[in-house]
A and B are shown apart, each in its own frame.
Chain A
Amino acid sequence: MGWTLHRLAMLLAFLLLPAAVVTAEKPAWQQLDAARDWLGGEEPASGGLRIELPLVSEEGMSVPLEIRGGELGNSEAPIREIRVYALGNPDPDVLGLRLDPALGRADFSTRIRLDESQTVLVLARDASGRFLAAEQPVRVANSGCLARSDEPVDAPMGAPRVAVPDPFPGAGEPGEVRTLILHPMETGFREGPDGKPVARRIIEDFSAELDGETVLSARFHAAVSANPYLAFRLAPRADGELRLHWRDETGEEREAYREVRVGSGE
């Protein structure tokens, strides 16, 4: 009797589940063509990669995203590539990253645009070709903020800002490098005052080189917030020079150099 009631309750609960909940049970990577294409039939593992996003964002124009992919140096199969998708954006591509083990850790912070409440998916591929996935739903309270309408459209790319630890904590020990460049990251999705779509103009490529070796290259899409912010880890083994480089769709470029000094590790 109790068992039957229990079954009945289960059945009812199942029938009454809102459609959205049923959809959400399907992993995000299964819902997106771009993600499935990259996976090429592989099923990603769910451990080893974490993301942090606010559960509720009051401002969809700039949502802080943190990716925690763990150690690169001592790992047998360090993460080599990361891709970020926002499933509910007009263009689900957000960010792509190619990592060199010289970064020390696969940890990143950035700010992204979310057009509405949706799931953010992060996929990573490690050196052995294995995939990892992490996803999180975000509720966006103030939508429609894909861009600000009072932003001048043809604003040139501004001066970059870069902060590096001085010194880095020790040889091979990761320290956080923060980068930001003034740029409207015009999405191409919004209308100007005249009602016509504003032409798209975004920074596409960013790279970091340590003494001439590329340690990080990034592909930005329109969902990276205006004035792109990217913080990453770097674990230099010796003193050297860091070169940072940005290029936008019009071909305009900026670069910045920073001296890298390695501390004694104490």
Chain B
Amino acid sequence: MKTDQARRRLLAGLGATLGLAAAGLPLGGSASRARVVVVGGGFGGAAAARALRQFAPDLEVVLVEPSAVFRTCPFSNLYLGGLRSFGSLGHHYGYLQRRHGVRVVRSSARAVDPERRQVRLVDGTRLGYDRLILSPGIDMRWDALEGYDQTAAERLPHAWKAGPQTRLLRRQLQAMDDDGLFLMVIPDNPYRCPPGPYERAAMVAHYCRRHKPRAKVLLLDAKDAFSKQALFEQGWREVYGERIEWVGFSGDGEVVRVDANQRIVETAFGNRHQADVINVIPPQQAGYIARQAGVTDRSGWAPVKAGTFESRLVPDVYVIGDAAVAAPMPKSAFCAHSQAGVTAAAVLASLAGREPPEPAWLNTCFSLIDSDYAISISGQYRLRDGEIQEVSGGVSPLQASQEFRRREAEHARDWYAAMSHAIWGA
């Protein structure tokens, strides 16, 4: 009953984002001939491109994305756990082109010239823009954890961008001994998808329950608290018994050094852990093009004006999704999608010389514990005193029936289907 309400709210929320964006319409004459370039075709960028074209059919929208197929991080943990195929994580851009008239340029952005309002692509092409939306996601900070560079990641995968790394981690898990140790290194905040590591732990345990019955999962965390912690710890215990062990910062969980060849990690207080499979989720930063464009500060992330997500550092450049500093909104796919709608409206208003509409954002993150057991966190956000503030929200109750958890798992699947259909048409 309660979850059905939650589900209706969720699906209504997907529509509400679009309805809000529509408030920025219609466009004046000059704005309709303008060009908006969007860099990055994930949950933020692809949704922004779609929303712009939906609300301003005459606007020229160019989406720059190097991959022909976008693989989603959401549900990639389910692939690791054996609940979904790798193919089911992939989405194409044909629908955005055909149905919404977005011009998709299959290339990478190399540089931004804010003076000339141009994006330069790797092949040298220059794309002029009136407004630029960057939704580049994250890059790993290869200098942040001693011993962990791109070469090390081929032995100790991060799998924190869905793609070859995700398949590599799955292969390593499959090849692990029956009594093997799967070790995960988890960074301090902020990083992409706060509950992601803990869902991954459950999905790895799910896989092990059937295929590696004596295997253990050890989580070494640089933090003392994490998203939905009580629910995760309860779920892990209920479903997987003692299989998953979490060690936080105060328990000496902060990893300061890794040895990829020996498959050993060392903690701040000198404990060394050897494991059969090591999944290192390193500290992160905004994607390359955001740093290159000068929209990031010394934190490595992009500070934005709260109402519009226009960069605080470079005018007419907007940054959405994981790359932006949007706290208290988490770095999640749903947030990126929600920001896309609000920012599309703000961009259109700006082109038309109008004030941006009053923003409102939503977030829901589902995490699967088991194939029929999920937990969630959701939040609604508004602008208060010039800052983003959570106005309502909450997490799944700690006391709940199996039926309740089963329905949340169903909602998670509905969420993924609705979201990917809305953005990529499949």
Chain B 178-209 interface mask (CB, 8 Å, partner A; 1/0): 00000000001110001000000000000000
Top 10 A-B residue pairs of the complex, sorted by shortest distance between their CB atoms: A141-B327, A227-B250, A141-B328, A58-B189, A161-B269, A163-B269, A163-B270, A56-B327, A58-B327, A55-B299
Q: How far is the CA of A58 from the CA of B190 in the complex (A)?
A: 7
Which residue of chain A has the shortest Cβ distance to B250 in the bound complex? A227
Asked if A162 lies at the interface with its beta carbon under 8 angstroms from chain B, I say yes
Q: How far is the CA of A150 from the CA of B229 in the complex (A)?
A: 12
Which residue of chain A has the shortest Cβ distance to B227 in the bound complex? A58
Asked if B418 lies at the interface with its beta carbon under 8 angstroms from chain A, I say no
| CB contact between A226 and one of B194, B250, B297, B328 (< 8 Å): that residue | B250
Asked if A142 lies at the interface with its beta carbon under 8 angstroms from chain B, I say yes
Chain A 221-254 interface mask (CB, 8 Å, partner B; 1/0): 0000111010000000000000000000000000
24 contacts between A and B (CB under 8 A): A54-B299, A55-B298, A55-B325, A56-B299, A56-B327, A57-B189, A58-B190, A58-B328, A59-B223, A59-B225, A61-B225, A62-B223, A64-B188, A141-B328, A142-B327, A142-B328, A162-B269, A163-B270, A180-B250, A180-B252, A180-B269, A182-B250, A226-B224, A227-B224
Asked if B249 lies at the interface with its beta carbon under 8 angstroms from chain A, I say yes
The A98-147 residues at the B interface (CB cut-off 8 A) are: 139, 141-142
Which residue of chain B has the shortest Cβ distance to A117 in the bound complex? B387
Interface residues on chain B, number (Cβ under 8 Å): 23
Which residue of chain A has the shortest Cβ distance to B191 in the bound complex? A58
Asked if A200 lies at the interface with its beta carbon under 8 angstroms from chain B, I say no
- B387 partner residues in chain A, CB cutoff 8 A: 139
A134 CB to closest chain B CB (Å) equals 15
- B328 partner residues in chain A, CB cutoff 8 A: 58, 141-142
Chain B 292-330 interface mask (CB, 8 Å, partner A; 1/0): 000001110001000000000000000000000101101
Asked if B268 lies at the interface with its beta carbon under 8 angstroms from chain A, I say yes
Q: How far is the CA of A227 from the CA of B248 in the complex (A)?
A: 11
- A180 partner residues in chain B, CB cutoff 8 A: 250, 252, 269
A residues sitting closer than 8 Å to B (CB atoms) are 54-59, 61-62, 64, 139, 141-142, 148, 150, 161-163, 178, 180, 182, 225-227, 229
B391 CB to closest chain A CB (Å) equals 14
- B330 partner residues in chain A, CB cutoff 8 A: 58
Which residue of chain A has the shortest Cβ distance to B248 in the bound complex? A227
Q: How far is the CA of A61 from the CA of B226 in the complex (A)?
A: 12
A57 CB to closest chain B CB (Å) equals 8
Asked if B426 lies at the interface with its beta carbon under 8 angstroms from chain A, I say no
Contact in complex: A62, B224 (CB < 8 Å): yes
Which residue of chain A has the shortest Cβ distance to B188 in the bound complex? A64
Chain B 263-299 interface mask (CB, 8 Å, partner A; 1/0): 0000011100000000000000000000000000111
Q: How far is the CA of A61 from the CA of B229 in the complex (A)?
A: 15
Q: How far is the CA of A85 from the CA of B166 in the complex (A)?
A: 45
B328 CB to closest chain A CB (Å) equals 4
B379 CB to closest chain A CB (Å) equals 11
- A229 partner residues in chain B, CB cutoff 8 A: 249-250
| CB contact between A150 and one of B194, B230, B303, B325 (< 8 Å): that residue | B230
Contact in complex: A56, B325 (CB < 8 Å): yes
- B270 partner residues in chain A, CB cutoff 8 A: 163
Q: How far is the CA of A162 from the CA of B267 in the complex (A)?
A: 12
Q: How far is the CA of A180 from the CA of B253 in the complex (A)?
A: 12
Q: How far is the CA of A178 from the CA of B303 in the complex (A)?
A: 32
- B230 partner residues in chain A, CB cutoff 8 A: 150
A153 CB to closest chain B CB (Å) equals 17
Q: How far is the CA of A67 from the CA of B250 in the complex (A)?
A: 21
- Give the interface centre of A58, A139, A178, A227 by most chain B CB atoms within 10 Å: A58
Q: How far is the CA of A141 from the CA of B269 in the complex (A)?
A: 29
- B249 partner residues in chain A, CB cutoff 8 A: 62, 227, 229
Q: How far is the CA of A62 from the CA of B252 in the complex (A)?
A: 15
Which residue of chain B has the shortest Cβ distance to A166 in the bound complex? B270
Q: How far is the CA of A161 from the CA of B268 in the complex (A)?
A: 10
